[in-house]
Structure 1
């Protein structure tokens, strides 16, 4: 009986977990079109599974895990002060989920506190060139496509039989190891790979608070946000004051802020960010 139970447990676990390829890309981007001499970078992960893939920021994953644990502990202990001095924030919040074998793409984007999903099942129209080269030791071939208002030049490696790549780029006969838009504002370069064991369903899972919207709805929400970027924070603060009139404070970079101070700081930072961030990867969504 012990042997049979062990075999059963192994089989059940096998259905839930699978060996996965994890591809690490360095993402370089120029978010301010008026200052193209300045650029930022962040490491991104393409996590592939037999059912699909997820593309996300390494830093954001660590940030989200820490925030979740912090607020879960606060709820249990009735904590009212939070110290985020040593918490590193990501520069990239976007996530992309693709399902196999149809390669339907779900772009996850946030506008203030709204977590939004833009689903696209149209295949990318690729033009494969005869031009070949080598990237990171791989024999690669060039291809081009246009989506979200940008023209992309990519290099894919047929020897890696995965029809996927960074962000929403996919559908070529080989992994995309390098991609750059025609203006040189956004670039992805494969810098590492490894094998990991993951839960496919968990990787492709969509959260309950995420809302599916059309591209037109997203553009409307973005236009409203630009007019009043701190509206959601004021609403949250007002509702929390009614339900639980407890003074909450936070420490950021060694400085302590009251709840009112935080509201003013958030509004100031969001308005400044709107001035500097105008060269989004999904260019046509923010026009």
Structure 2
């Protein structure tokens, strides 16, 4: 079993959908996706080093090292058409990974990003790996990103904050990386109550593709990727996508907001 993904991809699987988690998160954030999205898609939650079953591995804070590791870990899964989804920090990871794979001649069918300001936008919270504990906890609590179980256990909270700090350093590195325009469809999802990446901010992703672009508004805050209503919207949207070569998509760019 590949330790990088939440579940192995079975023989004769449907289209693979590699899913990248938020800062401080793990592949388990996408545990409900396979059942919710149905048999046409095979969501594979990607766990970055330093968490869950990869807790013994050193966390990565530089984008070059991350992309090299993802090449090694995920390369065998790119032998058939695939999609990428990234939430918050994961949106930056998905975009950077898509750019590298496109340069190597194996682009994804499409890139989907949720709750992630585009690379050129300074996040409203402006948290960094050096933000003090008090402010970091306050902002994460405001976003709803710390479960009660974590807050009630000092040791677990300390480890979680350490992971988040390194993930914030990784996000900074990803934002300063080369900003290529992808030649595949790019779809953005924005919570209408998200103080970090609301609909107006997420529209900024339009500049990162020469293909079709759509921004979908979700009635939610920042962490909407486990909400049943969002997964129903995602399933409806995915049903419209072809599952062959990226070249089956129209090349002209469009820009739409769809309130759901």
- TM-score between the two structures when normalised by the length of structure 2: 0.30
Please state which structure has a larger fraction of its residues in helix: 2
TM-score normalised by structure 1 residue count:
0.28
